[in-house]
Structure 1
Amino acid sequence: MTSTLAGKVGGPVLERGDEGFAAAVAGFNLAFDPRPELVATATSVADVVAAVRYAREAGMRISVQGTGHGAELEIESGLLLNTSRFDHLHVDPETRTAAIGASVRWKAVVDAAAAYGLAPITGSSPLVGAVGYLLGGGMGPLARSHGFSSDYVVGFTVVTGEGEVVEADEHTNPDLFWALRGGKFGLGVVTEVRVRLVELTSVYGGSFFVDTPDIDRMLRAWVDWTDGADDRVTTSVQAVAFPPLPNVPEPMRGRKLLGVRFAFPGDPAEGERLVAPLRAAAPVYLDMLGELPTTEMGRIHNDPTDPIPAYVHGTMIDRADQGLATAFLDLAGPDAVDSPFFAAEWRHLGGATSRDVPGGSAVGGRGSDYVVALVSAQPELFATAVPAAAARWDTVAAPWISAVNNPNVLAQPITPERVAACWPDDIRERLAQVRRRYDPDGVTLGWWVP
């Protein structure tokens, strides 16, 4: 089996048990141990074509892995296509665009664009791969001021499920272009994406923390503040129970804190004025707000940089009030001592995220004003207490949870019903038509369909 494909692909082709197999399939989330039948490391678009055609002829499904941040299910069959060698990146300052290979992480794009006074509308983590993130839409630290990150995509290079190389933009294969901006899966293998950059060199942003006794007051004040917040400002809060470990900074070690993240792409003095009501809502325990160069925007969210086992449960939220604040605090507040979630995040959306691009896109969740994500890092509870607690959240928060989710938010558990709910009916039906056109055999549905 490997010899047939190995003669057509430049990188290694390995079966389970082969030396190097585990490294080739490893992802960022250590909760999963991918065990496909084969893994092939592509070194060129021609390799991707060969792999897709091989899988189609063999009746295998393809999963694609660039940086390893995407998988949320065990892979137990099929072909895993490793695109980690697609690391090409080119910034064109004249057209203000960047051409990004399938494995390029946001940090590389941000750093390259910064040399020209430009910036991509990046995700919150500098280490996440740009392509996989953009396929789901992408809600980063500038979401309210600039919209979904996929709104800035101007073109894709794709190997379809039939093994054909095509371009997709507003003029060429516009139906595929529409679908790739938010449709996430089953649309082929993206080998390159091209995005529009914006003129931006710094933001006023970062985070500040309040201590345990002030979490309730700060969270409730933030909820009220977001009602009517300036559309230029993107904020979120995260309740975190920091473990008592030596690698945790001493002021946070062993404490439960509430972090307030803030991003304003404008004059620092105006940013200070806009954040002042939040700063005054409760005593500030740690203050890390200030002017940040775009190359340091990852400090706003400070997402994990090392692989960890994680169970993440995400829900889009239509509206927020003090009733939802109470539900959130019951799950993640100072008195939630038995919660299996060490972190609970609540992001404010709306603003530019509610406005679609000309011609439309397949992004799910534009009608939601918030998103909540719950995170556990206790693998021994992933099959029991964690999903039970997530289900309780869904029940208690049901009056506020949106009918439509988003594939980048979804995470655990992956079920056909939850996947289907990532788009409203009209978008989901149109996506199905585009998938049938470009991947009639479902070769690139990957792990998204359990």
Structure 2
Amino acid sequence: MTIALDRAITRHHDSLEELRSCLTGEVHLPDDEQYAALSTPWLLSVPMQPAAVVAVRTAEDVVATVRFARSHGYTVGVQATGHGAHSAYAGHLLVVTKGLDEVTVHPEGWARAGAGVKWRPVIEAAAPYGLAPLNGSTSDVGVVGYTTGGGVGPMARTYGLAADKVRAFEVVTGDGEFRRVTPTEHPDLFFALRGGKGATAIVTAVEFDLVHLPTFYGGAVYFDGADAERVVDRWRAWSASLPEQATTSFVLFQLPDMPGVPPALAGRMTLGVRFLWTGAADEGRELLDQLRAVAEVILDDADLKPYTAVDSVHADPVDPMPVVDPAMLLTEFTDVTAKRLLDVAGYGSGSPQLMVEIRQLGGAYARDAEHPDAFSHRAAGFSVLAVGIAEDPRVLPHWDRLYAALSEWDTGGVWPNFGPPHDAQTARRAYDEETLQRIAEVVRKYDPDGVLQIGEYARS
């Protein structure tokens, strides 16, 4: 945002009154009481400073905002929860979609959610019918942002990506038009929206298939960090033999002694093995017993559970946090990979990270979707994610060391949800060249004036 244009918006109240008169929602300037609450993302370490916030309540509000921005030469950003926030996404006018809160579950197996909806209401609405969505590792993230980034969740090896289940999007494109997007209606947009992270349109609602899963066997089994080498070595061979009914990961935790952290995990390094099994509970229990036998279990949360308890698998925090969370994707996870990981981030390494996670991929994740999409990472074998306190000066240099240690297996890519594309460099890690060119073509077609701020990466 240029200083001149920023001042133009904030000073020319008449033009904003023109916008207000078109909306059922509200417009807030930086000196308004609600501005900070609406613009601050879940990632507290990411400053979002638009010239104004537009809290929309209807799809028509989004249309009016985009048309207003286009006619006045402004850019538009969009935010629901802000889990994948980046400062470059704010735009001059930040559309906050929390007011688009529709949730409808159809008992025959599909659902519709507004752009402001998180996964928790969908999970709870689907549960009475024995149905479940392909939600994220925490149900506190937004449905739309997660899905447009591909959506790799705790059942990815069994059912694939959240984007694979999309039936339709309702969107407002940068030219100010409302469109319904399906495999046959605007198929170029349908391609770009599933993985393109919102570069081509502001999504107002999404419709997607559910899976039949009233219960699952799973959760997490925790070990002392001193036993990490033995457990990780066994996990490598064990996970390689798992059928697709299983999705698993492990995490090195260093959680502070504070309310909400189980005493067994607080103030020490621990290793958690996450596991979600969609088959018979007895089979899942027998499989996980193979890991329980490797070392002393300090906390065991795995059991037969209703799907509404799915958050227990990853146990991700839900409160907004001032963190940085760099990530990468690996081709494989060998014994040498494991040793290098533990040397840099394991017990006794001096790692400053709150957590370092390795997720096993493959299975349904690796198979192409029924309809082509913009997700470029089906061939990756494992993902790596680190989370550390943003203000800790050790965190990012340590990540650089970890990245270097694992670079031999780096695919060169990163999930759009874990590495939000915002410039040419990050876009080329989020997408292969062919996909990036296709996204760019869609951006030019539906947003010829460059109104949507997030689409800037495709124009760079």
TM-score clears 0.5:
yes
Q: Distance in 1 between matches of 2:365 and 2:219?
A: 21
Q: Match of 1:88, as an amino acid? A: E
The residue number in structure 2 matching 1:140 is 153
Residue 246 of structure 1: CA displacement? 4.4
Deviation (angstroms), 1:20? 1.6
CA distance in 1, matches of 2:430, 2:19: 35
Q: 8 Å contact 1:73–1:414 — kept in the other structure?
A: no
2:80 maps to which residue? 66
Superposed CA deviations along residues 389-413 of structure 1, whole A, max 9, x for unmatched, are 22222222111111232201215x9
Alpha-carbon contact 1:71-1:447 (below 8 Å) kept = no
1:250-304 deviation line (CA, Å, top 9, x unaligned): 2222121000000011210011122232222222121111011111101111111
2:44 paired with 1:30: yes
Question: Which residue, 221, 240, 245 being the options, matches 1:227?
Answer: 240
- Does residue 100 of the first structure (1) align with residue 113 of the second (2)? yes
How far, CA to CA, are the matches of 1:353 and 1:421 in structure 2?
19
The offset of 1:181, in angstroms, is: 0.9
More displaced 10-residue stretch of structure 1: 273-282 or 119-128: 273-282
Q: By how many angstroms is 1:416 displaced?
A: 2.8
2:104 pairs, out of 67, 84, 90, with: 90
Which structure 1 residue ranges, 4+ long, deviate > 6 Å from structure 2? none
Q: 1:310 to 1:415 in 2, by over 3 A?
A: farther
Q: How do 1:243-322 residues align onto structure 2 when only pairs under 5 Å count?
A: 243-322=256-335
User: Partner residue of 1:201?
Assistant: 214
User: How do 1:339-378 and structure 2 match up within 5 A?
Assistant: 339-378=351-390
Taking the aligned partners of 1:176 and 1:77, their CA distance within structure 2 comes to 22
The answer as to 2:18 corresponding to 1:4 is yes
Q: Is the 8 A contact 1:61 1:446 kept in 2?
A: no
Aligned residue for 1:396?
405
CA contact (8 A) 2:19 2:65 kept: yes
Shift of residue 414, structure 1, vs aligned partner:
5.8
Q: Does residue 183 of structure 1 match 2:200?
A: no
State the match for 1:54 in structure 2.
68
C-alpha displacement of 1:247: 4.1
- Gapped runs of 5+ residues in structure 1? none
Residue 408 of structure 1 aligns to a residue in which SS? coil
Amino acid in structure 2 at the alignment position of 1:357:
A
- Contact kept? 2:221, 2:273, Cα under 8 Å: yes
Aligned counterpart, 1:150: 163
Structure 1 CA distance, aligned partners of 2:390 and 2:418?
Answer: 20
Structure 2 counterpart of 1:420, one-letter code: R
Specify the SS of the correspondent of 1:409: coil
Question: What amino acid does structure 2 have at the position aligned with 1:213?
Answer: A
Contact 2:77 2:91 in 1 (8 A): no
Deviates more, 1:278-287 or 1:34-43: 278-287
Cα distance in 1 for partners of 2:423, 2:331 equals 22
CA distance in 1, matches of 2:102, 2:264: 40
CA distance in 2, matches of 1:311, 1:246: 22
Please report how far the alpha carbon of residue 118 of structure 1 lies from its aligned counterpart in structure 2 after TM superposition.
Answer: 1.0
Aligned equivalent of 2:176, options 157, 163, 175: 163
Moved more, 280-289 or 39-48: 280-289
Residue in structure 2 matched with residue 417 of structure 1 by the alignment: 425
* 8 A Cα contact 1:340 1:378, kept in partner: no
- Comparing 366-375 with 50-59, which one deviates more in the overlay? 50-59
Cα 1:75/1:120, change in 2 over 3 Å:
closer
Larger deviation, residues 315-324 vs 326-335: 326-335
Gaps of 5+ in 2: 1-14
Aligned residues: 444
* Residue matched to 2:225: 212
Q: Within 5 A, what are the aligned runs for 1:116-135?
A: 116-135=129-148
- For 1:61 and 1:321, the matched residues in 2 are separated by 46
Percent identity between the two aligned chains: 37
Deviations 1:149-173 (A, max 9, x none): 1100010001011010111111111
Change in Cα spacing, 1:313 to 1:218, as seen in structure 2 (3 Å) is same
1:41-89 deviations in Å (ceiling 9; x for gaps) = 1111111001111122222221111122221336675110011100001
The answer as to whether partners of 1:317 and 1:372 remain within 8 angstroms in 2 is yes
Aligned partner of 1:13: which letter? V
Indicate how the Cα distance of structure 1 residues 331 and 58 shifts in structure 2: closer, same or farther if over 3 A, else same: farther
Q: CA RMSD in A?
A: 1.8
Distance 1:308 1:299 in 2: 19
CA separation of 1:41/1:246 partners in 2, compared to 1, >3 Å: closer, same or farther? closer
